Chains A and B, each alone.
Chain A
């Protein structure tokens, strides 16, 4: 039975040049989990909104065609009249909550629908068990962790027993373990209750294996493609590392799970058996730069400007004095290998010893020892609430240590005047928008130059490099998530801080934007910037970091070279590592270049 039917649907917002989505004509059968994929800005959220009726009833704009959900036409039914068949959870669970405790929140939707008290009581108990929330039933929602909040948000729309669940990036803000919790719940709903789930998500490596069908929006205004996940992934501009590796190995149909890939890429493992990834690292201990041609692992058909941008950055950021390189094969191989081998040894950019930080009565950090040297990239990982953001905030002096020492380039952060401090350390916060006050990009840049005492035009030049083709009079609010991040990064870099901190930089970025960010950050590391990333994104850490530091409950529980730390951890290992274990590969880029090097070697002798 068809649950959701789109009949030649297009949506156009007021003042937009063209329709945001066009020619959507498809049917979603009951009880399927459909994953909506595509680059940023192709109208994924709009498409999801049409199912719950929020588009156009709430957002404005013109909807042509017809969307029917369980036989109800969304043109004649307002969102509140669809509330009993469609449950919607947006990107930010906190914006979704109406009441203050878990149990009340679960009951809220049923109260609105007027269900009988005994039915409500029974369903709340069932849902508490289904989502594993029973211990939290009386807790105020604001005291829950991100994963718990996301589960409460899903539970709150589940209790009225909707037949369709619409989710917009349900795992983006979550650590890998919490994301798995949420996805396990979704799978259980689909399998046990026959709920139809329509979900948009950027982090495909987490979700694609759960999808029954994938709905691809390849470019703005292009009609979507609905089909079998493996088939759609073969043509999709966005894909997870497992698919990338499958394409590299030439496996058809493409593997979607690590298990599948392990079973079907045995040949690849054999071909790689002779090469040891760590060996290929340059002797000099200096990290190799981004190769001139941009990141080879970037999505296959990246937008033209992305390629141009990446190339531009690479040349701009390229370091000259390469040393300690042997023959051609080794150069190629060293290009291939991301800087995991020997971490560069430079001057210490920050030194933290025996640090403890209190937030209210909570010991957010305890006895933390942490160093980062110039030219080194460190990934801070750990669950939500493990103390990653606290450590970054302490390094920029937003929080004062309760005990222990913090030195950033010789300065004590919380005692240094802000104007002086930005010369030592810069932080791009989780929400880059927090750094932006002005109405235009040009004004923002001028202000940044003033703040940093930099020559006028410094920041604008950085913006032009990081974000080519942005007009001076663009309002920062109109930028996409990735563009805003680049603008904030340019503002921070205007003061040329030797230590650069980024908090959760890839949230809401698609693969192309992420690839651009990786190129930029590699260039910066090659210029002897020390970089610390707090991230949940294991693929990003594998791609960039020399070293991974894992925090748990405010303590450092692991600190070592990326390859050593992530290979040993089931939740922090990137997909490529899992697939090619026991060999120690981290990224597809690494594998691809090693294969190419091996081929050249095969031809050359």
Chain B
């Protein structure tokens, strides 16, 4: 992956300011942008278009990614996407493909299966058409994953959770704590496996992993308890006194709303309920949201410097929406360009208009605030009079 170039001092700086806390882009805008790209990717199987989409997402990530820990998740998503393509290809090769094909690549030995497993095939003919179809399909899934990965890398998950309504705050905290739990657990496992080496035992292998399991869980539990104590001591869970009337109304609204949502959904899905389905669903949703809003009154929390939804957020979210909208329009007007055929096998062509639409997704790389150059992970500390009589460094 490309790192943000260190000499990013060109005219781009004029378009987008250096990022700091008060001009930070709303994390929701990044998610809307990424979901727009993902929607576009789901509308096509043309590998050239999806490749372009992946390139757009990757370029924006490279240009606007911070040095924060979550920003490193992008690489993991790319690897996951490659694995998905691989799995899809292996399945198509081994389990066969429903695509009829004439270009035979190889014929694998077929495993004879009993009668009850009819319809399942292991081994047999592998055709170029089947493989290409699986490849297109895999690339589309990979595109979706990479778009989600881009959102993950660009938007701080903690800041996104801060945008939740007050009544859902506790849920948000639970998620954040759970998210920090996993990296800590991995660090513990690594440390304890290293410690096994100090006792003269091999530091790899399954047995080693099992033996450190117990201490790792103990450590995780202890850390959770310590965190809970710290949060409690810092005022987590303080509630405001709310009149009984408001409390009761909240409960009625929330429960009634949820029942309404259930009934409305049921109505929409059954044949005879289409008339009342939509209104009941709407009323239920409204009541549930009202319940959430009222529930927020129990919480005394305030928010410190919430991210504002400004013009740049509109531009970023809008560019994603534009890509999605244009691609949907293109898929209804010229479907064949977005879905290159595999029977007969033809080389996919790049349709110009949809490709131009995808390039709109590059907008965030120009308008989103530029993150400061990556800090070195080793913290710079004020110099202390430490250099003594020994080797004087003049450099």
A contacts, CB < 8 Å to B: 52-54, 57-58, 78-84, 86, 88, 90, 92, 95-100, 103-104, 107-117, 120-121, 124, 136-140, 142-145, 147-148, 156-157, 160, 177, 360-362, 382-383, 385, 393, 396-398, 417-419, 421-422, 426-427, 429, 433-437, 447-448, 451-452, 477, 491-492, 495, 550, 552-553, 555-560, 564-565, 568-571
| CB<8 Å pairs between A and B, sample of 12 | A54-B229, A54-B232, A79-B229, A80-B233, A80-B238, A82-B233, A111-B302, A111-B303, A112-B300, A138-B21, A177-B384, A383-B381
Contact in complex: B388, A558 (CB < 8 Å): yes
Q: Which 10 A-B pairs have the closest CB atoms?
A: A83-B235, A112-B235, A107-B304, A114-B300, A422-B200, A95-B226, A558-B390, A434-B195, A451-B200, A109-B234
Q: Which of B158, B180, B230, B237 contacts A104 (CB 8 A)?
A: B158
Contact in complex: B304, A112 (CB < 8 Å): no
B contacts, CB < 8 Å to A: 20-21, 68-69, 156, 158, 173, 176-177, 180, 191-192, 194-203, 211-212, 214-215, 218, 223, 226-238, 240, 300-305, 372, 375-379, 381, 384-391, 393
Given A80-B237, A434-B195, A111 and B301 contact (CB-CB distance below 8 Å): yes
Contact in complex: A88, B199 (CB < 8 Å): no
Contact in complex: B388, A54 (CB < 8 Å): no
Contacts of B191 in A (CB 8 A): 434
Given A385-B379, A558-B388, A435 and B199 contact (CB-CB distance below 8 Å): yes
In the assembly, what is the distance between CA of A447 and CA of B223, in Å?
A: 28
Contacts of B158 in A (CB 8 A): 99-100, 104
Chain A residue nearest to B222 in the complex (CB): A95
Contacts of B202 in A (CB 8 A): 417-419
Contact in complex: B227, A360 (CB < 8 Å): no
Contacts of B304 in A (CB 8 A): 103-104, 107, 110-111, 117, 120-121, 124
Q: Which of A92, A113, A121 contacts B226 (CB 8 A)?
A: A92
In the assembly, what is the distance between CA of A143 and CA of B378, in Å?
A: 7
Contacts of B389 in A (CB 8 A): 558, 560, 564-565, 568
Contact in complex: B387, A552 (CB < 8 Å): yes
Contacts of A121 in B (CB 8 A): 304-305
Contact in complex: B233, A86 (CB < 8 Å): yes
Q: Which of A112, A361, A421, A427 contacts B301 (CB 8 A)?
A: A112
Contacts of B177 in A (CB 8 A): 98
In the assembly, what is the distance between CA of A139 and CA of B215, in Å?
A: 31
Contact in complex: A52, B233 (CB < 8 Å): yes
In the assembly, what is the distance between CA of A110 and CA of B236, in Å?
A: 10
Contact in complex: B233, A113 (CB < 8 Å): no
Given A111-B301, A435-B198, A83 and B234 contact (CB-CB distance below 8 Å): yes
Given A95-B223, A99-B158, A137-B21, A144 and B379 contact (CB-CB distance below 8 Å): yes
Contacts of B236 in A (CB 8 A): 80, 98, 112
Chain B residue nearest to A88 in the complex (CB): B233
Contacts of B231 in A (CB 8 A): 98
Contact in complex: A148, B379 (CB < 8 Å): yes
Q: Which of A83, A107, A136, A422 contacts B305 (CB 8 A)?
A: A107
In the assembly, what is the distance between CA of A137 and CA of B227, in Å?
A: 22
Contacts of B215 in A (CB 8 A): 433-434, 436-437
Contact in complex: B377, A360 (CB < 8 Å): yes
Contacts of B196 in A (CB 8 A): 418
> How far, in Å, is A333 (CB) from chain B's closest CB?
27
Q: Which of B176, B197, B232, B235 contacts A84 (CB 8 A)?
A: B235
Contacts of B176 in A (CB 8 A): 98-99
In the assembly, what is the distance between CA of A491 and CA of B199, in Å?
A: 8
Chain A residue nearest to B392 in the complex (CB): A557
Contact in complex: B238, A113 (CB < 8 Å): yes
Contact in complex: A103, B388 (CB < 8 Å): no
Q: Which of B214, B235, B378 contacts A160 (CB 8 A)?
A: B235
Contacts of B300 in A (CB 8 A): 112-114
Chain A residue nearest to B184 in the complex (CB): A94
Contact in complex: A112, B384 (CB < 8 Å): no
Chain B residue nearest to A176 in the complex (CB): B384
Contacts of A147 in B (CB 8 A): 381
Contacts of B388 in A (CB 8 A): 550, 557-558, 565, 568-569
Contacts of A120 in B (CB 8 A): 302, 304-305
Given A451-B199, A557-B391, 16 other A-B residues pairs in contact with their CB atoms under 8 A = A57-B232, A90-B229, A98-B230, A99-B158, A100-B180, A111-B302, A112-B300, A137-B21, A385-B379, A393-B194, A398-B194, A418-B200, A419-B202, A435-B198, A550-B390, A569-B385
Chain B residue nearest to A421 in the complex (CB): B200
Contacts of A117 in B (CB 8 A): 302-305
In the assembly, what is the distance between CA of A495 and CA of B211, in Å?
A: 21
Q: Which of B192, B194, B302 contacts A116 (CB 8 A)?
A: B302
Contacts of B238 in A (CB 8 A): 80-81, 83, 112-114
Contact in complex: B230, A426 (CB < 8 Å): no
> How far, in Å, is A76 (CB) from chain B's closest CB?
15
In the assembly, what is the distance between CA of A88 and CA of B232, in Å?
A: 10
Contact in complex: B21, A451 (CB < 8 Å): no
Contacts of B376 in A (CB 8 A): 362
Contacts of B192 in A (CB 8 A): 434
> How far, in Å, is A549 (CB) from chain B's closest CB?
9
